[in-house]
């Protein structure tokens, strides 16, 4: 049977770290499941100047709060941070029009979620929970999303992050 979750006030949000820890504790009473914590878009504030651009976070690539308030589970090796990140096919953001695009993107990813594995004492994994988008099949110099996708694959490989989920195989779906 699935574990029962502790009762919480109706005003508790899913972003509440204490709530996440309570849920994980309840889950771990009867299972050994992984607990995946997704990024948000704007909590904490995710407006930064990176490579000369005013950069904001997308749907779920903001894990800036982990630096100051990491989730602390009783079973630390069962925590997985799972950002979701998308390129220019899904967002109109300054970093996608930067003169150095897509070579500026690793700085953005490092700022939003790429730093997590370097936090001293961190036992959590980082698995990119969603990334992708449509590509036109044109050459890289005319397909910005294709450029972005090639760059994120290079980033994942260079940073030994082969665990990820691509969204999605059919081109008719929005993230």
Residue with tokens 């936090």: 119
The percent of residues above 70 in pLDDT, for the chain, comes to: 82
* Cis-peptide, bond into residue 168, ω within 30° of zero: yes
Give the residue-averaged pLDDT of 93-120.
94
Condensed to tens digits (0 to 9), the pLDDT of residues 49-76 reads 999 999 988 878 899 988 888 888 888 8
Q: 44 or 159: whose pLDDT is higher?
A: 159
User: What's the confidence (pLDDT) of residue 11?
Assistant: 31
Beta-bridge partners for 35: 79
Q: Quick one: tokens of 92? A: 């109109």
Phi, psi for residue 71 in degrees, rounded to 5: -70, 130
Give the mean pLDDT of the chain. Answer: 82
Spatial distance between the Cα atoms of 169 and 87, rounded to a whole number of angstroms? 16
Largest CA distance in the chain: 54
The pLDDT confidence band at residue 92, using thresholds 50, 70 and 90, is: confident
If you search the block for the tokens 């990024």, which residue do you land on? Answer: 39
Least-confidence region, from 13-17, 52-56, 131-135: 13-17
């Amino acid at each position: 049977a699935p574990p029962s979750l502790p009762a919480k006030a109706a005003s508790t949000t899913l972003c509440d770290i204490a709530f996440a820890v309570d849920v994980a504790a309840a889950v771990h009473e009867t299972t050994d499941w992984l607990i995946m914590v997704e990024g948000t878009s704007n909590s904490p504030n995710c407006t930064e100047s990176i490579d000369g651009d005013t950069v904001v976070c997308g749907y779920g690539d903001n894990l800036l709060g982990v630096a100051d308030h990491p989730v602390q589970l009783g079973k630390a090796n069962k925590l997985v941070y799972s950002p979701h990140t998308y390129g220019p096919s899904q967002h109109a953001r300054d970093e996608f029009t930067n003169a150095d695009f897509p070579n500026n993107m690793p700085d953005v990813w490092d700022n939003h979620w790429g730093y997590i594995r370097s936090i001293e004492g961190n036992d959590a994994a980082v698995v990119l929970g969603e990334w992708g988008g449509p590509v036109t099949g044109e050459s890289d110099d005319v397909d910005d999303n294709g450029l972005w996708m090639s760059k994120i694959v290079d980033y994942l490989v260079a940073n030994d992050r082969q665990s990820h989920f691509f969204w999605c195989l059919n081109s008719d779906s929005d993230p």
